[in-house]
């Protein structure tokens, strides 16, 4: 029996439904967008999916009639398949607003849209529904959601980390078992589901429904090879040359196909931090798969022990931690792109993650080690040459408990993320 797992975005969705006539929930396929909307509405919302070819045809050919036939409040699933609906939704919303002014009634929470192609859809949404839509990003399950913990956005401060320290620290192998399984809700609602079968089905669905219009059938095998080449480089700087070489495609194709992965919410690009006038910071982003289970499947790993001992272990561990922090910001209604960066300069000085908040920067290193030391935070001092105040920092690792490293930095147990 499937069990619903409470999502930290629920309050955000409720608040947006009180303020906007249209709510748009974006995220990769099967992260739970429709499930959370139906749960919050107790199934009182009408529902239509544009995955249905007949409904999609109707929506594209006669958007006005489609909306007449589907009464509000209405969930429209996979709106990217029929963006022709958006101008008509705008007209419906504007009419409802005028009627609400005359009747002194509420016109919010009319349309609930979901989409698994985030960036291509944004342009259409911004053009058609500016000022009328509350946009909510969604990823897979976070660690906090899995253990039922309320969580604010993550900062590496002793006060914030101490509140989460009481949760049981998982063993290293347990962390890698979680990394292998990934974060899709279906894998936790029914733990008898084989991860291999799930991800095989997921990729088939992704190729057939999201990629088929943009990648020819002849190219599908190469596209899968390309995805595997990208997955093998999660947690590393984006290098189109190397990816193109492994996938046996040209650089232009690699860039176009990577844009598709980003559009689908399957990868997250972490931009470099550049607030240091005395050094030459690099401009290349780091690339992370948003779901570690999918990255492992594409890279050929199905066993946690093998993964932990592999050459990929450090990068996949970093991917897991970075995406947990990304989710903590998203689940607190904050755009992680505004707050999260990494640091690396031409002298190869690197800091895994830099969080900027209220003109203060918080440096973070991410290590699989159980024995962190001060040498691991030596690069933090490079931030002193910048213009922002330097806040507390730390090493997220497999340490048993919070351990002070110096007056400002701590070793942070993995369960605090």
Structure tokens at 367: 């290590």
Give the pLDDT band of residue 31 (cuts 50, 70, 90): very high
Whole-number pLDDT of residue 166: 79
Residue 137 bridge partners (DSSP): 26
Inter-CA distances, 153 with 11, 58, 187, 190, 329, Å: 15, 42, 25, 28, 5
pLDDT, mean of residues 13-28: 94
Alpha-carbon span 412 to 403, nearest angstrom: 7
For residue 269, count other CB atoms closer than 10 A to its CB: 13
Calculate mean pLDDT across residues 267-282: 75
> Each residue of 185-200: pLDDT tens digit?
999 988 788 999 999 9
User: How far apart are the C-alpha atoms of 216 and 102, rounded to whole Å?
Assistant: 52
Q: How far apart are CA 326 and CA 271, in angstroms?
A: 13
**Which of 214-228, 307-321, 376-390 has the weakest average pLDDT?**
214-228
**What does the pLDDT read at residue 65?**
97
- 34, 43, 51, 106 from 13: Cα distances, Å: 12, 15, 23, 17
Q: How confident is the model at residue 385 (pLDDT cuts 50, 70, 90)?
A: confident
Report pLDDT for 217. 55
Q: List all residues 6 or more positions away from 138 whose beta carbon is below 8 Å from its beta carbon.
A: 7, 9, 25, 26, 27, 31, 32, 33, 36, 330
Note the pTM of the prediction, 2 decimals.
0.93
Q: Are residues 175 and 320 in contact, defined by beta-carbon separation less than 8 angstroms?
A: yes
Indicate the range of 148-152, 265-269, 350-354 predicted with least confidence. Answer: 148-152
Q: Are 267 and 118 in contact (CB under 8 A)?
A: no
Q: What is the 3-state secondary structure (H, E, C) of 147-210?
A: HCCCCCCCCCCHHHHHHHCCCCCCCHHHHHHHHHHCCCCHHHHCCCCCHHHHHHHHHHHHHHHH
Please tell me the predicted confidence (pLDDT) of residue 27: 94
pLDDT in the model for residue 283: 83
* Residue pLDDT, tens place only, 299-335: 999 999 999 999 999 999 999 999 999 999 999 999 9
The strand pair at 286-289 and 236-237 is best described as antiparallel
Q: Is 170 exposed, middle or buried (0-12, 13-18, 19+ CB in 10 A)?
A: middle
Residues 352-368, mean pLDDT to the nearest whole number: 96
Helices (H), 186-291: 186-189, 195-205, 220-231, 240-247, 251-263
* pLDDT digit string, tens, across residues 40-77: 988 789 999 999 999 999 999 999 999 999 999 999 99
Residue 282 has pLDDT above 80, yes or no: no
Predicted pLDDT of residue 37? 95
User: Across all residues in the chain, what is the average pLDDT?
Assistant: 91
pLDDT-derived band at 120 (thresholds 50, 70, 90) equals low
Position 216 scores a pLDDT of 65
């Amino acid at each position: 029996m499937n069990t619903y797992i409470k999502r930290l975005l629920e309050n955000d969705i409720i608040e947006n439904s009180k303020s906007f006539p249209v709510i748009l929930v974006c995220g990769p396929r099967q992260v739970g967008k429709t499930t959370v909307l139906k749960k919050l509405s107790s199934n009182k919302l009408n529902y239509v999916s544009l995955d249905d070819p007949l409904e999609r045809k109707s929506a594209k050919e006669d958007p006005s009639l489609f909306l007449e036939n589907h009464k509000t409040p209405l969930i429209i699933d996979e709106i990217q398949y029929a963006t022709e609906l958006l101008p008509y939704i705008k007209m419906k919303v504007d009419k409802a607003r005028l009627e609400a002014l005359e009747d002194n009634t509420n016109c919010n929470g009319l349309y609930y849209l979901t989409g698994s192609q985030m960036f291509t859809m944004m342009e259409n949404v911004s053009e058609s529904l500016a000022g009328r839509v509350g946009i909510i990003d969604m990823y897979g399950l976070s660690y906090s959601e899995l253990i039922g913990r309320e969580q604010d956005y993550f900062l590496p401060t002793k006060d914030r980390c101490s509140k989460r320290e009481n949760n049981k620290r998982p063993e290293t192998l347990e962390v890698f078992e979680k990394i292998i399984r990934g974060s899709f809700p279906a894998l936790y609602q029914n733990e008898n589901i084989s991860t291999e079968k799930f991800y095989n089905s997921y990729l088939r669905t992704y190729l057939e429904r999201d990629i088929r219009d943009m990648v020819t059938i002849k190219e599908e095998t190469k596209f899968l090879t390309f995805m595997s080449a990208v997955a093998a480089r999660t947690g590393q700087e984006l290098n189109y040359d190397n990816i193109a070489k492994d996938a046996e495609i040209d650089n232009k194709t690699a860039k176009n196909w990577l844009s598709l992965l980003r559009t689908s919410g399957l990868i997250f690009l972490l931009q470099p931090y550049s607030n240091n006038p005395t050094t030459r910071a690099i401009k290349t982003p780091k690339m992370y798969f948003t779901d570690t289970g999918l990255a492992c499947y594409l890279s050929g790993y199905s066993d946690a022990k093998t993964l932990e001992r592999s050459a990929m272990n450090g990068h996949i561990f970093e991917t897991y931690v970075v995406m947990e922090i990304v989710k903590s910001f998203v689940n607190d209604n904050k755009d992680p792109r505004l707050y999260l960066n990494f640091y690396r300069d031409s002298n190869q000085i690197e800091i895994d993650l830099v969080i900027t908040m209220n003109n203060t920067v918080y440096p973070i290193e991410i290590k699989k080690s159980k024995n962190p030391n001060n040498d691991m935070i030596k690069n933090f001092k490079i931030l002193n040459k910048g213009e922002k105040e330097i806040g507390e920092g730390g090493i997220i690792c497999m340490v048993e408990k919070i351990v002070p490293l110096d007056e400002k930095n701590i070793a942070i147990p993995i369960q605090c993320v």
